[in-house]
Amino acid sequence: MFGCIILVLREREFHTMENEKSQAGLKKSLALIFVYTVATGSIFTYVSYWDSVFFNYCGPGTFLAFALMSLAILPVALVYSELSSLFHTAGGELIYNTVALNKHAGFFASWLIMAAWISVPPAVVMAIATFISRTFGLALDFQKIMLIAIVILLIVFFMSLQDIQFLVKAQAFCLFANITTTLLTGVLLLCSGHWHLSNLSPLFQTNLESISGIPGWVIGMALLITPFFGFETVPQMVEEGDFPISNTKKAICGSVLTCGAIYTFFFFCVAGLDSFQTLLAGGQDGFMTINAMKNLLGWQIWPLIYGLVSILLGMTASILGFWMSIVRMLYAMGQKNFLPSIVTKLNKHQQPIVPNVFLLLLTLTFVLMQNATTFMNDFFNLMSFGCACAYALTMISAIVMRSKHAKWYANSHSTVVGGNALRILAMVIMVAIAYFCTLGQGRGSWISFGVYMSVGVLIWLWMVLVKWRHSRVVIETPDGKQEF
């Protein structure tokens, strides 16, 4: 009898330990559709506010620039699909660049991609606050707009501490509402009676000057990488996915193709409404399409509906997608000994606590640094540059990893067609885009970038001089856990 009792107690103890172990990390509960919506929602956000920035850079040919950028980004997305199928934990750029190069490259690649991600929440909440002020005739000054933005950030922060299922379902609803109204708006513009093909000529107009013989329109197209970044959030969610790891390709490439097609269609519809100068004159500081519907077409109800859905819901979807990804990157850095282990502490909903608090403080700092005249362009350009640099470094690592660990690719279902030729093409594309992005940076962008990178350098120095002297980075690879 006592033997049976002991066996029962041991069995219960075993199951208790297993349950605690399964609950110790991030919850593995995400269906593929929600990982796809996290990526797509992160990408698809800028059409109704930054439309004046896009049009300023590429004019009537903005739709063509988006189509070309879709083609340029696709090889990069395919390489990311290949890499994400090899590793089963969150980390993305952190893992890829550490394994292929070294932990220092891994740290700064992840810090660079987070420069793009972290730029989104402060820029987007300012856009939402500005839209609220204008739409409801509040005529708020910049300080009051900033206060509304801070309140929105606090709401997002408290949402991010909730269960992952709540977050992804809320984001999916916001995303699909935004996609539906954007497509419907495009159709309405085409059928408005005001749309003419002649308004697309000349196609390659831009307000950017040529630099070193490179046409301003080409520089503008390179800066359009910003409306595409977000597909790389998928590797941050794989640890919580309950689907085969090879299916991440569907989420990554699907998000790029979905958004690229909508961007191309929508800006083709917008460009035909009137001349380059007329359209920009009505939206120099954002909301160009909404203003065009009001001023050129005389519409009042639909611009309000479109704006409310696209700004309030669409941008909320973007904030949630990037917020979740940043938190998981910081969590992964803690797990793998790139940051102190305190960042891995979870709340009762299995959401990382310290990364959420750190992100809130950092985004509040960025909001407070903004000014009333240039913050939109400064943040847009900062996103472009940080994202392009991280992509370029990761493409280099993809080539190196294929050479160093060829056996990992033997049974992979996501190995890219064309092998190193495609990886090299992706690398060349991203190096070129990163260079073009430097030509479009303004003083405000470099100041923001410098402040952000200074924080990263301080953390990296602390790790090099203190933490890594006594412990090593640990990455889970296809060969098991390895130290770097």
Start-to-end Cα distance in the chain: 52
Residue-by-residue DSSP string for 364-431: HHHHHH--TTTHHHHHHHHHHHHHHHHHHHHHHHHHHHHHH-GGGGTT-TTPPTTTHHHHHHHHHHHH
Question: Any bridge partners for residue 476, and if so which?
Answer: 481
User: What's residue 123's pLDDT?
Assistant: 81
| Cα of 417 vs its chain's centroid, Å | 25
68/191 Cα distance (integer angstroms): 26
pLDDT at 118 exceeding the cut of 80: yes
Does residue 90 fall inside a structural domain? yes
Residue 80 contacts residue 96 (beta carbons within 8 Å): no
**Model confidence band, residue 19 (pLDDT cutoffs 50, 70, 90):** very low
Q: Across residues 322-327, what is the average pLDDT?
A: 92
Query: Quick one: 277 exposed, middle or buried, by C-beta within 10 A (0-12, 13-18, 19+)?
Result: exposed
Size of the chain, expressed as the number of residues it contains: 484
Among 45, 204, 12, 62, smallest CA distance to 128 is for 45
Least confident piece of the model among 238-242, 369-373, 447-451: 369-373
Encoded tokens for 216: 């301003």
User: What's residue 14's pLDDT?
Assistant: 35
Does residue 152 fall inside a structural domain? yes
**Model confidence band, residue 402 (pLDDT cutoffs 50, 70, 90):** very high
Encoded tokens for 190: 């085409």
Q: Mind listing the pLDDT tens digit for each residue in 226-263?
A: 788 889 999 888 888 888 888 899 999 999 999 999 99
pLDDT at 25 exceeding the cut of 80: no
Tell me the torsion sign for CA atoms 121, 122, 123, 124: positive
Does residue 217 fall inside a structural domain? yes
Tally of CB atoms within 10 A around 191:
10
Q: Across residues 159-178, what is the average pLDDT?
A: 92
Does residue 11 fall inside a structural domain? no
Query: Quick one: 446 exposed, middle or buried, by C-beta within 10 A (0-12, 13-18, 19+)?
Result: middle
- Helices then strands, counting H and E runs in the chain, come out as 19, 2
Q: Across residues 409-431, what is the average pLDDT?
A: 85
| Range of the structural domain that residue 112 is part of | 29-457
Residue 426 contacts residue 362 (beta carbons within 8 Å): no
Region of 322 on the Ramachandran plot (φ > 0 left; ψ -120 to 50 alpha; else beta): alpha
128/288 Cα distance (integer angstroms): 15
Q: Where are the beta strands (DSSP E) in 190-251?
A: none
Place of tokens 């984001």: 171
Residue 354 contacts residue 342 (beta carbons within 8 Å): yes
267/195 Cα distance (integer angstroms): 12
**Model confidence band, residue 440 (pLDDT cutoffs 50, 70, 90):** low
pTM (2 d.p.): 0.86
Q: Hey, what amino acid is at 230?
A: G
232/82 Cα distance (integer angstroms): 12
Q: Where are the beta strands (DSSP E) in 171-301?
A: none
Does residue 12 fall inside a structural domain? no
pLDDT at 13 exceeding the cut of 50: no
pLDDT at 81 exceeding the cut of 70: yes
Q: Across residues 51-63, what is the average pLDDT?
A: 93
Encoded tokens for 263: 């961007």
Phi, psi of 474 (to 5 degrees): -125, 125
Does residue 8 fall inside a structural domain? no
* Buried/exposed 313-344: b ≥16 CB within 10 Å, e otherwise: bbbbbbbbbbbbbbbbbbbbbbbbbbbeeebb
Does residue 193 fall inside a structural domain? yes
Least confident piece of the model among 37-51, 219-233, 410-424, 459-473: 410-424
Q: Across residues 146-166, what is the average pLDDT?
A: 92
Q: Across residues 144-151, what is the average pLDDT?
A: 90
pLDDT at 318 exceeding the cut of 50: yes
User: What's residue 335's pLDDT?
Assistant: 93
Phi, psi of 477 (to 5 degrees): -115, 175
For residue 245, give every residue at least 6 positions away whose Cβ sits within 8 Å of its Cβ, in sequence order, or none: 84, 85, 88, 238
Average pLDDT of the chain, as a whole number: 86
User: What's residue 414's pLDDT?
Assistant: 67
Does residue 17 fall inside a structural domain? no
Residue 442 contacts residue 89 (beta carbons within 8 Å): no
For residue 423, give every residue at least 6 positions away whose Cβ sits within 8 Å of its Cβ, in sequence order, or none: 79, 395, 398, 399, 402, 416
323/171 Cα distance (integer angstroms): 11
Collapsed DSSP state (helix, strand, coil) of residue 300? coil
User: What's residue 238's pLDDT?
Assistant: 86
Instruction: CATH number of the domain at 207, please.
Output: 1.20.1740.10
Encoded tokens for 181: 């109204």
Cα torsion 46, 47, 50, 53 to 10°: value is 130
Residue 42 contacts residue 233 (beta carbons within 8 Å): yes
Q: Hey, what amino acid is at 144?
A: K
The count of structural domains within the chain is: 1
**Model confidence band, residue 436 (pLDDT cutoffs 50, 70, 90):** confident
Q: Across residues 49-71, what is the average pLDDT?
A: 93
Residue 53 contacts residue 284 (beta carbons within 8 Å): no
User: What's residue 263's pLDDT?
Assistant: 96
Share of the chain above pLDDT 70, in %: 90
User: Distances from the Cα of 234 to the Cαs of 139, 245, 356, 415, in angstroms?
Assistant: 39, 11, 19, 17
**Model confidence band, residue 23 (pLDDT cutoffs 50, 70, 90):** very low
Cα torsion 80, 82, 86, 88 to 10°: value is 50
